[in-house]
Structure formats: structure tokens, C-alpha cells
Amino acid sequence: MDDQVPCSEVVEDIYRGSAVDVWQEVASKANVQYLFKAVPSTDAGIQEAMRGNLDLLVSCLSITPSRLQKVEFSTPYTEDRLALLTRRKETSFLDIVRRLSSNLVIRQTTALLLLGGLLFAVILWLLSKEFQHRDIVGGNKRQTFFKGWMMLAMGTGIYKMGTAPPSMAVIALSNFIRLVITAIFVAATTSLVINASEEPSDLTESDILKRALVSKVGVDKGSFAAAWIDRKADAFLSDHNQRDMIVRVDSSDDMLVQLEQGKINSFLAERNRVMALQNKLKNSKDFEIVAQTFFRTPQAFVFGAKLDRKSQDAINVAISELKFDGEVESVLERWKTP
């Protein structure tokens, strides 16, 4: 299949891609002679395979129920998940605050700082028979204790909490624990602030799809992604709205142009393809993967209707052996987008 980066494409009469490299390894192992012929799309390739006009369709073809009703697949050689690439939103201060407040590590370390300070404040209060230093003493005992508690939690002026050896030992232990917890808190906060992008959400959640569809989602015509989003959108969109909001694109170049010009705001495809096309965008940093499926779909080659069973078996055995030896993964690793 042409125009399916990073899986398969034809560039100046050279056939290349991750699936092409895997096939060449399989053909070598199975001792199969072959001649490449380019087909323009998934639908065209499936039709040619059904008619027996080709013996094998090479690309990252997801195995789906509808395709299994038409053609026979080889043993899967890899699997991939769907991913949604969307134009990046500008991160506001409130977005950062929201991420910080929702982060489990930050919530836990904040609680530990406060509870740890409270525990050591109680111990020191009892050891010192209340806090005596003039900078801590407040209008009443409650205010004095609260001020000492906050000083321990924040590590400010803790030398004023007590001078007796037992008190100093408790203060030293409190300060050490506070420093460790603070270091974890700072590391988590820094990571969230610097890495403004959130982890991809679950694409199967309807609210994420609904928000993306409002600004139009592009899919490869006849692809697994197109079939998947059609099925998901059936639950909340009319046929008319689906035609308006789901844009079926014939080529990678057309997809890139529509993304760059803002005619569509998102692109849905297998994750490896999404990442490969993102790298080709002139303004690639303006886009990010915001959601993905957490299920993976097996991918394989498609057998032509006239390919004999002996050849099919030889190809399947070769794929299995290459997978077992880790050679398929080694080939695919070379094509992964950094």
C-alpha cells in the first residue's frame, strides 16, 4: 500500500516502510520470490486481494471483523492502538493549578508535610511543656500551637522550637523527613510544569470524542480508524453530523494540508502513523496526542484469494519464527518516531 507512512510507501520507485522491511525478512526466511506493485489505498488493496489480482497486501493492516469477512490475514506480526492528534491548546495558569491539584503525588506529599508537622508539633509541645520562644507565643495556647505547627511544616525558624537535647533530636528528625518529602513534592511539581502535556486520555470516553468532533476529525478513507470512529459516533451523532464532523481524506499530503490550514483540528489513526505524520507537519509542535485507546489491534498482511495454502503456511511460519527470535521487533524499532 502506498502513502501509509511509516508502514509502506513508494518514494521515487523505492518501496519502503516498516511493514515492507518486515515482509522482506519474511520472504527471505520463507524463500519466497516476489515483485512489488503499488496500490493506492486500503480499499483498493482489499479489493485486489479479493479478486486474486495480488498475492499479498503489505502494510500495517489492522485485523477487523469486516475485513475478515472479505479476506484472509497472515499471522499478526505486530499490534498498535489508535491515537488522536489534536492542535495543542495554550496552557494557562489555571490549567497548571488544575493539573497540580489532581496529581496524586502532590496531594500525598502536601498531606504528609502537614500531618508530619502536626505529629512533631505535638511531640515538641509535650516535651517542652508548650512553646516558650517569644517569636512563637501567640495570644493564646491554640494560636501558639498552630504557629509552631506551621513552622515545623514549612521548616521556618525551627531552631526556636526547643533547645533541650530531646527537643533538638525531634527537630532534626522532623527537618530530615520534611526535606525528603519536599524534594519529592518539588520534583513532581517541576515535572508537571515543564511537561505541560498531559498523559493521553482514554479515547473510548465519549466526551473526548465529542469535543474533538466539534472541530472536525480527519481519518484515512477506508481505514480501521474510520470504521472505529463511525461506530463510536453512531451513539451520539446523526448520519448528517457524522458526514460533517468526520472528514475522510484520500492521502497523507491532503491530511497534512488540512491540519496545517485548520480545516480539521484532529487526526485519528494508528499511533505509529499519527506520530509519523506529526513529524511531517511544518508546525508539528502545535499538535499533541491527547487521547488513545488502551486496547491494541493486531496487524498483519492480507493474503490474496489465489495464493496457495502451501505459500500461506510458509509465510505464517516465517513470521512466527521471526517474532520468536525478536527480529520483527528489531525491524520495527528502526521505524519508531523518537
The arithmetic mean of pLDDT across residues 31-42, rounded, is 94
Residues 16 and 106 in one domain: no
Sheet containing 246-249, strands listed edge to edge, beginning at the edge strand earlier in sequence? 201-202, 287-292, 82-87, 266-270, 217-220, 246-249
Instruction: Give percent of the chain above pLDDT 70.
Output: 97
Q: Which of residues 194, 221, 236 is at a domain's end? A: 194
Q: Is residue 2 part of a domain?
A: no
The arithmetic mean of pLDDT across residues 144-171, rounded, is 83
Is 70 exceeded by the pLDDT of residue 202? yes
- Weakest-pLDDT range from 62-66, 134-138, 225-229, 314-318: 134-138
- pLDDT band at residue 10, thresholds of 50, 70 and 90? very high
Residues 190 and 115 in one domain: yes
Residues 138 and 58 in one domain: no
Question: Total domain count for the chain?
Answer: 3
Q: Is residue 44 part of a domain?
A: yes
DSSP state at residue 136: T
Residues 107 and 52 in one domain: no
The arithmetic mean of pLDDT across residues 61-84, rounded, is 96
Residues 103 and 39 in one domain: no
Amino acid at 104: L
Q: Is residue 3 part of a domain?
A: no
Does the pTM surpass 0.95? The reply is no
What DSSP line would sit under 259-309, residue for residue? Answer: HHHTS-SEEEEEHHHHHHHHHHSTTGGGEEEEEE-SS-EEEEEEE-TT--H
* Mean pLDDT of the chain, nearest integer: 90
Contacts of 57 (CB under 8 A, 6+ apart): 1, 39, 45, 46, 48, 49, 71, 301, 302, 304
Per-residue pLDDT, 337: 75
Per-residue pLDDT, 195: 60
Residues 188 and 224 in one domain: no
Per-residue pLDDT, 336: 86
pLDDT tens-digit series, residues 233-257: 888 878 777 888 999 999 999 999 9
More confident residue, 188 or 303: 303
- pLDDT band at residue 152, thresholds of 50, 70 and 90? confident
Q: Please state, in angstroms and rounded to a whole number, the distance separating the CA atoms of residues 46 and 70.
A: 8
- pLDDT band at residue 92, thresholds of 50, 70 and 90? low
Residues 147 and 189 in one domain: yes
More confident residue, 305 or 134: 305
Residues 76 and 35 in one domain: yes
Helix or strand or coil: residue 182? helix
Q: Is residue 4 part of a domain?
A: no
Helix or strand or coil: residue 125? helix
Q: Is residue 338 part of a domain?
A: no
Q: Which of residues 149, 166, 194 is at a domain's end? A: 194
Is 80 exceeded by the pLDDT of residue 194? no
- pLDDT band at residue 100, thresholds of 50, 70 and 90? confident
* Range picked from 24-38, 124-138, 143-157 for highest mean pLDDT: 24-38
Residues 206 and 177 in one domain: no
The arithmetic mean of pLDDT across residues 157-167, rounded, is 79
Q: Which of residues 143, 161, 194 is at a domain's end? A: 194
Is 70 exceeded by the pLDDT of residue 197? no
Per-residue pLDDT, 335: 92
Residues 137 and 218 in one domain: no
Q: Is residue 140 part of a domain?
A: yes
Residue 56, domain extent: 9-80+297-333
Q: Please state, in angstroms and rounded to a whole number, the distance separating the CA atoms of residues 83 and 268.
A: 6
- Weakest-pLDDT range from 57-71, 92-106, 185-199, 299-313: 185-199
Q: Is residue 1 part of a domain?
A: no
The arithmetic mean of pLDDT across residues 120-137, rounded, is 85
Return the CATH number at 285. Answer: 3.40.190.10
Strands (E), the chain: 9-11, 14-16, 56-62, 72-73, 78-80, 82-87, 201-202, 217-220, 246-249, 266-270, 287-292, 297-303
Q: Is residue 103 part of a domain?
A: yes
